[in-house]
Amino acid sequence: MLQRLLRPLLVALLVLPLAAQTPKPGTDGPHVLWDGPEAEVLWSREGRITRTPLPPPYRLALEGLPEIRLRPEPPEAAEDDLPLPARVCVLSDLHGNWAGAVALLEAHGVLRSGLRWGFGKGNLVVAGDIMDRGEGQTELLWLLHGLEQQARKAGGRVHVLLGNHETMVMRGDQRYLHAKYTTAWAGLEGGVAALYGPKTELGRWLRSRAALLRLGDVLFVHGGFSPALLDREPTVASVNRAVREELDLPEKLFHLGTDGPFWYRGLVPGAEKKRPDATVEDIVRGLAVFGVRRVVVGHTTVDAVTALHGGKVLAVDAGLKDGKPGQVLRLEKGKPFRGLADGRLEPLE
C-alpha cells in the first residue's frame, strides 16, 4: 500500500531536472573515448579514474544538463559561411568560468530553464578560449556541444570557434591549464592530452570547429587577421582548412603562430606589445579580402564590449577570464549592442 502511494512521488522526482551542473574540486568528466563503434566513458573522482562502456544508441547522461546523443562517426566540419540571422549573441574567452558564462547566457535568453536552448532561431557565437585557467572547462564544452544539437532543432545555430587555448590544449601545451585537471588525470596514460585527442568525443568535436566564421557581412575570429595572413590571399574556407591540417602536426606552422588568426592582437589598439597596431588600411584591406564590413574579435580583454575603428572592429572579451561578470555582443537585425550582465542592451556607437 505504501509503495503504491509513494510511486507517483518517486517518478516525479526522477524526471525532475538535476541541479545545475557546477564544477567540483577533484572531479572531472565525463570524457568519451572512441574505438570505432565502441565507446567508453571516463570519470576522475578524487584521483580515482573509472571507465564504463557506452553502448548504442550512445546516450550520454550529463549531470545537471540535458542528455546528449552521440554518434560513432566523427562530426563534419562546422558551417563557416551563412547568412546573418536576425539575432546573434556573441561572447568569448570563457576560460572555464562556468558561473559567469551561464549567468550571461541566461540573462540574454540564450539559456532557459534546465540549461536548455532558449534563443529560438537566433545564433550563439563563442569566439574561442573556452579552455584553460578556470575549473569549469569540461562542463562548458558539454553545455555548448549539447546546445548545438538543441539549437538546430529550433532553427538556430551555435558556432563554437577555436581560440589559441583550445589549440594549445589539443597539442599538449598545458601551461595555463587549471591544476585540477593535471591532478585528476595524473594516473591516465597520456594525461590530460589523451582526453582531447582525435579519438575522443570532445577532441574530435573541437577539431571540427572553425577558426573563422562569416555570418552575412560580419566576420568572427578569436584573435584577428594580420597583414601577413592577408598576404596569403586567404578565404574563410582556406583558413579553416589549413588550421585543421596543422592542428595535429608536431611543428607549429603559420596558422597556429603569432601571425595566425588565434594569436594576432593588432586590431585592438595598443594590444600588440612588440609590433605595430594594424593600420586603418590594414583593416579596410582585411574586410575587403573576406567580403565583410566588420570583424568581431576576442582574445584581448577590454573593459567593455567596444566598437573600434569606426565600428569596423568589435571587441568582445569583457573579462570573464578574470572572474568579472562579463558582457556579450548582441546583433539585432545587424545593429550592434553591448549586452550587460543583467540582460540590458546599450547601443554601440
DSSP 180: H
Phi/psi of residue 152, each to 5°? Answer: -60, -40
What's domain 81-347's architecture? 4-Layer Sandwich (3.60)
Q: What confidence category does residue 2 fall into, taking pLDDT thresholds of 50, 70 and 90?
A: very low
Cα distances from 130 to residues 20, 82, 104, 113, in angstroms, run 19, 23, 14, 22
Convert the pLDDT of each residue in 211-237 to its tens digit: 999 999 999 999 999 999 999 999 999
Exposed, middle or buried by CB within 10 Å (0-12, 13-18, 19+), for 118? buried
pLDDT over 50 at 5, yes or no: no
pLDDT over 90 at 165, yes or no: yes
Q: How many whole angstroms separate alpha carbon 338 and alpha carbon 241?
A: 32
pLDDT over 80 at 9, yes or no: no
Q: What is the pLDDT of residue 296?
A: 98
pLDDT > 90 in the chain, percent = 90
Q: What is the pLDDT of residue 137?
A: 96
User: Which residues have CB under 8 Å from 183's CB, separation 6+?
Assistant: 26, 47
Q: What confidence category does residue 164 fall into, taking pLDDT thresholds of 50, 70 and 90?
A: very high
Q: How many whole angstroms separate alpha carbon 119 and alpha carbon 63?
A: 22
For residues 290 and 101, the answer to whether their CB atoms sit within 8 Å is no
Convert the pLDDT of each residue in 284-304 to its tens digit: 999 999 999 999 999 999 999
pLDDT over 80 at 199, yes or no: yes
Q: What confidence category does residue 247 fall into, taking pLDDT thresholds of 50, 70 and 90?
A: very high
Q: How many whole angstroms separate alpha carbon 211 and alpha carbon 86?
A: 23
pLDDT over 80 at 239, yes or no: yes
Convert the pLDDT of each residue in 329-340 to its tens digit: 999 999 999 999
Domain ranges of the chain: 16-69, 81-347
Q: What is the pLDDT of residue 30?
A: 97
Q: Work out the average pLDDT over 158-179.
A: 96
Phi/psi of residue 9, each to 5°? Answer: -65, -40
Task: Give residue 147's Cα distance to chain centre.
Answer: 11
Q: What is the pLDDT of residue 106?
A: 98
Beta partners for residue 52, in sequence order:
41
54: which 3 cell numbers?
557506452
Convert the pLDDT of each residue in 73-103 to its tens digit: 999 999 999 999 999 999 999 999 999 999 9
Q: How many whole angstroms separate alpha carbon 159 and alpha carbon 148?
A: 8
Convert the pLDDT of each residue in 250-273 to its tens digit: 999 999 999 999 999 999 999 999
pLDDT over 60 at 58, yes or no: yes
User: Which residues have CB under 8 Å from 302's CB, separation 6+?
Assistant: 268, 315, 317, 318
Whether the pTM exceeds 0.85: the reply is yes
pLDDT > 70 in the chain, percent = 94
Q: Work out the average pLDDT over 43-64.
A: 95
Q: Work out the average pLDDT over 140-164.
A: 98
Q: What is the pLDDT of residue 24?
A: 76
For residues 338 and 225, the answer to whether their CB atoms sit within 8 Å is no
Q: What confidence category does residue 21 fall into, taking pLDDT thresholds of 50, 70 and 90?
A: low
Q: Work out the average pLDDT over 292-321.
A: 97
